[in-house]
Amino acid sequence: MTTPSNDSDRFAIGGDLTVNRLGFGAMRLTGDDVIGPPIDEAAAREVIRRAVDCGVDFIDTADSYGPGVSERLLGDELDSDGADSDVVVASKAGLLRAQNGDWLPHGDPDFLQNQVLCSLDRLGVDEIDLYQFHRPDPDTPFADSVHAFAEMKDAGQIRHVGLSNVTVEQLEDAQEIVDIATVQNRYNVANREQEAVLEACEAADVGFIPWGPLYGVDDDDAREVLTDIADAHDASPQQIALTWLLEHSDVMLPIPGTSSVEHLEANVAAAGLSLSDDEMARLDAIDPQ
């Protein structure tokens, strides 16, 4: 099984890293609540290998997943200098994990500079393909954090800079400092609060990575429409939700995450589906929450 490879199914991150638009999110390759190692590390490694075998060449992780666990697994499993050299790995910095599991924004430039060193070591690379500022920190000027990423790029530690959980204004402010390759905000068929950010990304040819791409599939307003269309395609509602994302925008880069090979294969198969204009219209008309 491989993902389709015609031009409409691919996107050039930063203009030079061309990937299949349906990627894989590696957050779930950790313990419960995204803390600590996975219960079955061999199974987690199998998911990584199967993703690559299925044609996935864009994998998203973060230093806070584990923390450090997801990055380390990817670094151990992927041969960045050999057979897996075409796999683009994106990571993030800018969140701390509290003992109670809370995600705490931390955009201090010194912290970010330390985190990129940790990410480079865990991933086993000299340069990270895409490094994203995970979340703006209300206690640190946004520009200071972005400048830290610009310095990482100038130092050759990262190839491209991405942002996550930002507004249109923050995207524009960051673009004044450094080229922005991607934005990762919450977005799915039942939640389109970030439509303006998506439109800004489309205008600038910036990749848009929707986190939580399968959230909302069971929402009342979405479930009936997704199920009806899924039945017509002998597919699942989750697959239709992913296909809708891919057909909704050419800059969309969904990264559904899972710790199951079965779910991974089902997600990848969504890239091979095609929706009619009428089906897209029905999905577009879902009242987002």
Active site residues: 65
Per 3-state DSSP, the chain is made up of helix, strand and coil in percentages (nearest 5) of 40, 20, 40
The helix-helix angle for 237-248 and 220-232 (nearest 10°) equals 90
CA distances from 94 to 84, 100, 163 (A): 27, 18, 10
Helices (H) and strands (E) counted in the chain, each on its own, are 10, 11
Structure tokens at 34: 């995204």
Q: What value, to the nearest 5°, has the Cα angle with vertex 179 and ends 175 and 182? A: 90
3-state secondary structure at position 105: strand
Contact between residue 284 and residue 16 where contact means Cβ atoms under 8 Å apart = no
Contact between residue 55 and residue 87 where contact means Cβ atoms under 8 Å apart = no
- For residue 164, the tally of other CB atoms under 10 A from its CB is 21
